Amino acid sequence: MISNLSFVTPTPDSPWGTYLMQVDQVTPYLGHLARWVETLKRPKRALIVDIPIELDDGTVAHYEGYRVQHNMSRGPGKGGVRYHPDVTLEEVMALSAWMSVKTAAVNLPYGGAKGGVRVDPKKLSQKELEKLTRRYTSEIGFIIGPQQDIPAPDVNTNGQIMAWMMDTYSMNVGATATGVVTGKPIHLGGSLGRVKATGRGVFVTGREAARRINLELQGARVAVQGFGNVGSAAGELFVQAGAKIVAIQDHSGTIFNDNGFDLAELMPHVRATGGVGGFKGGEKMNAEEFWDVKCDILIPAALEGQITAERARRISAKLVLEGANGPTLGSADDVLADRGILVVPDVICNAGGVTVSYFEWVQDFSSFFWSEDEINVRLDKIMVDALKRIWTVADEHKITLRTATFAVACERILTAREERGLYP
């Protein structure tokens, strides 16, 4: 008996709808494992919690929180926590499902999970943010743990929030449990290289893809949407490789410089003001004009659903590197494929973050820490090997890298499902 889930109403362009379409596209390549494919279309567990906190002015506010564990056939859940006013259960479900695919694509011993709180963190004081984080952690505490489900930073969350989560969980279990979250400060069992790991993974997969299509990085024009942790780290590495960033868009504005931005001037401005808007070393652009900028490489590293079919027709890039999760709508994917634009999909492109989170988790268990050089070398090897395997499948079946990544990952997930069998 197969029926749709009653608690979501996916549309073609919603994150969950996009994910379901991706699963449908990969099903023909799963062979006998296709009998298990429904496993991928429903999360193992979805928890919705109420988070009441007393604000600084004495009033009590309530926030909605989620933790979704999509699939744990291959190991404990792994996935970030985002604080955003527009977070929904459906979005968190999709993000958790993409984490299942992502961890399997790079062959980490994890399943996929994700968390979220419907809140605008910019409207909270530091004290209120701490209360929100600690209460949220307590509410989801019985389903997370170093061997159960390991949260990490995502949109609007950072090392400090992970420190509060770790401390809250540790207080509740009566022992310091550094392995319950990753992306922690270094002093609390965090890993060197973790902060820039996602951006580094975008660069590594981008470098390999550029080599495949004979795109020279020296002098290549790069446009970056979203200049937070991921976009800025990837941008810096491309500039070091000889490319130039000609356009950047974030929540504070859109800027353009035909000769390429001077990051030595731009980065201090971003740190001081929280965004690229108002930077004097470039001209201001209309937000929609960003998609018309002449570039070789486009890095969408903001939120999901940014590349629509209409925008996909205007993109001039030869290579799209998905730094964000789900930035390209299904209809846009088809347009980009028809136009011969290579897309390195999120589920491999931004997997650098979860890979170094895995390194952090391993280091926490062994209480033995590696140098940043060791971490970067290991990250590079895992990403390159994973991409090679995916490219082989793409060439073999003449399918897109996205479908090939899903084919590799879903085969691993469903093989684990089949070998474990159904309990009881």
User: Among 78, 114, 244, 318, which one carries the catalytic annotation?
Assistant: 114
CB 48 within 8 A of CB 87: no
The Cα–Cα gap between 258 and 243 comes to 12
The Cα–Cα gap between 205 and 350 comes to 9
Place of tokens 């792994």: 78
> 355 burial class (0-12, 13-18, 19+ CB within 10 angstroms)?
buried
One-letter amino acid at 277 equals G
3-class DSSP string for 220-250: CEEEEECCCHHHHHHHHHHHHCCCEEEEEEE
310-342 in b/e form (b: 16+ CB < 10 A) is ebbeebebbbbbbbbbbbbbbbbbebbbeeebb
CB atoms within 10 A of CB 177: 19
Q: How far from 253 is each of 153, 169, 224, 229, 405, CA to CA, in Å?
A: 24, 38, 12, 17, 33
Which 3 state secondary structure label does DSSP give 367?
A: coil
Per the annotation, the verdict on 318 as an active-site residue is no
Catalytic residue positions, numbered: 114
